[in-house]
Copies of this chain bind each other. A is one copy, B any other.
Amino acid sequence: MTGIRTQALQARDAALAVAALSTDAKNALLQAMAAALEADAAVILEANARDLEAARAKGGGSAMLDRRRLDGKRLQGVADALREVAALPDPVGQVTRAYDRPNGIHVERVRVPLGLIAMIYEARPNVTADAAALCLKAGNAVVLRGGSEAIHSNTAIAAALRRALREADLPEAAITLVEDLRRETILELIQLNDIVDLVIPRGGEGLIRFVAEHARVPVIKHYKGVCHQYVDAPCDLGLALDLLIDGKCSRPAACNALETLLGHADVAATFLPRAVRALRERGVELRGCARSRAIVPDLREATGDDYAAEYLDLVLAVRVGDGLEQAIEHIQRYTSDHTEVIVTADASHAERFVQALRSAVVMVNASSRFSDGGELGLGAEIGISTTRLHSYGPMGLEALTVERFVVRGEGQVRHPDLLAPAE
**What is the CA–CA distance of A238 and B198 in the complex, to the nearest angstrom?**
42
Q: Does A358 contact B (CB under 8 A)?
A: yes
Interface footprint category on A: 35 or more
Closest B-chain residue to A213, C-beta based?
B216
Give every chain B residue within 8 A of A113 (Cβ-Cβ).
Answer: 358, 388
Choose, from A73-81, A153-161, A242-250, A318-326, the stretch at the interface. A242-250
User: Contact at B101–A414, with CB atoms within 8 Å?
Assistant: no
A22 to chain B: closest CB distance in Å?
10
User: Contact at A392–B366, with CB atoms within 8 Å?
Assistant: no
Main DSSP-derived SS at the A contact region: mixed
Q: Does A420 contact B (CB under 8 A)?
A: yes
Which residue from B361, B388, B418 sits with its C-beta under 8 Å from A249?
Answer: B418
Which residue from B193, B219, B364, B407 sits with its C-beta under 8 Å from A362?
Answer: B407
User: Contact at B218–A20, with CB atoms within 8 Å?
Assistant: no
Q: Does A409 contact B (CB under 8 A)?
A: yes
| Contact A360:B419 (CB < 8 A) given known A387-B197, A388-B112 | no
A-B pairs, top 6 by smallest CB distance, nearest first, are A366-B409, A246-B413, A390-B390, A239-B411, A250-B415, A361-B405
* 22 A–B contacts, CB within 8 A, in A order: A20-B356, A99-B377, A101-B376, A105-B370, A197-B387, A218-B387, A243-B413, A245-B418, A246-B416, A281-B420, A282-B418, A350-B408, A360-B404, A361-B406, A362-B405, A365-B409, A365-B411, A369-B413, A369-B414, A371-B405, A389-B402, A391-B403
